[in-house]
């Protein structure tokens, strides 16, 4: 009871002192503690300024001009125009390739010759003792002559021709032991209009020359009768295998380059 009266008396005393204007200093022990707020730091109170995004560099619109501004002063290399292949080249290539496949086991040769006066060569194919003469017309090959001849293909004067005169010759031997030449004339390279002349020096039992009716033209064709087995041709005749008419062994590889073995008359004059 006494403990309850002490605070009340104190309060009454305070009231009286206030009224009189005389306020004693309060006892620190009797004062209730004043709650203090936590210290405020600058980082909590300050508002962080927003970070400004960097200003993007101005973009240059892509150029729509297709003009190449590269300073390229290198000039392109000039290439020589390729001349178109002559029609006869493909025709002879096809013919020779087919012959390679048909006669693989036979030793064969071919040559290009100038039988007439144009720039399209004629083709000679030699197999054993057989020969074939071709020309090319309208991009197609045509057989002019198929014949046999004496001896091997490379023997002297066995297969000859007169350049640009449409004359072709093959050597032969007769059963009676004679020998000579068959000379073929081809006007306009027409096989149907060909004329054949046989020059034979074989004597019969009466000592007369068979085919002697042709010997009066021997000088015209430059044929010389030197006696038994001694019929020869003059210098105007070219043996297949001489000069630019050199014989080529027949093979698919050689047939593929048949056009490279030929030069025109104009090209030869330039050389």
Domain ranges, ordered by start, for the chain: 87-270
Length of the chain in residues, anyone?
Answer: 271
pLDDT over 70 at 136, yes or no: yes
pLDDT over 80 at 122, yes or no: yes
* Contact present, 195 and 216 (Cβ < 8 Å): no
Banded pLDDT at 176 (limits 50, 70, 90) = low
User: What is the model's pLDDT at position 107?
Assistant: 78
Kindly report, residue by residue over 138-174, the tens digit of the pLDDT: 889 999 999 988 765 456 788 999 999 999 999 887 7
User: What is the model's pLDDT at position 240?
Assistant: 85
Kindly report, residue by residue over 204-245, the tens digit of the pLDDT: 545 454 555 678 888 999 998 877 677 889 999 998 866 545
pLDDT over 70 at 1, yes or no: no
User: What is the model's pLDDT at position 168?
Assistant: 96
pLDDT over 70 at 71, yes or no: no
Angle at 235 between CA 229 and CA 238, to 5 degrees: 90
Neighbours of 81 (CB within 10 A): 6
When pLDDT is averaged across residues 179-199 and rounded to a whole number, the result is: 89
In sequence order, what DSSP letters do the residues of the chain get, joined into one string?
-HHHHHHHHHHHHHHHHHHHT--PPPPTTTSPPPP-PPPPPHHHHSPPPPPPPPPPPPPPPPP----------PPPPP-PPPPPPPHHHHHHHHHHHHHHHH-TTS-EEEEEE--SSSSS-EEEEEETTEEEEEEEETTEEEEEEEEE-SS-TTSTTSEEEETTTTEEEEEEE-TTS-EEEEEEE-GGG-GGG-EEEEEE----TTSPPTTGGGGGGHHHHTEEE-STT-EEE-TT-EETTSGGG--EE--HHHHHTGGGG---HHHHHH-
List the single range of 15-19, 132-136, 183-187 with lowest mean pLDDT: 15-19
Q: What is the pTM of this model?
A: 0.63
User: What is the model's pLDDT at position 267?
Assistant: 46
Q: CB pairs under 8 A, 24+ apart, for 227-231?
A: 227/201, 228/177, 228/178, 228/201, 228/203, 229/177, 229/178, 229/179, 229/201, 230/201, 231/179, 231/180, 231/181, 231/199, 231/200, 231/201
């Amino acid at each position: 009871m006494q403990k309850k009266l002490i605070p009340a008396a104190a309060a009454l005393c305070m009231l009286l002192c206030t009224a009189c204007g005389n306020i004693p200093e309060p006892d620190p022990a009797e004062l209730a503690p004043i709650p203090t707020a936590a210290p405020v730091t600058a980082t909590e109170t300050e508002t962080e300024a927003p970070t400004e995004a960097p200003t993007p560099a101005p973009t240059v619109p892509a150029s729509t001009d297709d003009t190449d501004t590269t300073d390229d002063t290198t000039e392109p290399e000039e290439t020589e125009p390729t001349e178109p292949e002559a029609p006869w080249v493909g025709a002879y290539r096809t013919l020779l390739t087919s012959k390679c496949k048909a006669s693989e086991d036979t030793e064969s040769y071919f040559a290009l010759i100038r039988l007439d006066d144009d720039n399209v060569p004629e083709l000679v194919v030699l197999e054993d003792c057989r020969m074939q003469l071709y020309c090319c017309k309208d991009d197609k090959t045509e057989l002019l002559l198929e014949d046999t001849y004496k001896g091997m293909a490379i023997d002297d004067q066995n297969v000859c021709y007169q350049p640009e005169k449409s004359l072709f010759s093959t050597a032969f031997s007769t059963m009676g032991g004679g020998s000579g030449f068959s000379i073929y004339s081809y006007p306009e390279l027409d096989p149907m209009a060909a004329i054949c002349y046989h020059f034979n020096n074989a004597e019969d039992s009466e000592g007369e020359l068979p085919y002697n009716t042709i010997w009066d033209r021997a000088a015209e064709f430059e044929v010389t009768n030197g006696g038994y087995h001694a019929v020869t041709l003059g210098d105007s005749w070219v043996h297949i295998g001489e000069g630019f008419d050199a014989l080529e062994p027949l093979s698919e590889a050689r047939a593929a380059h048949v056009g490279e073995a030929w030069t025109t008359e104009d090209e030869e004059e330039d050389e």
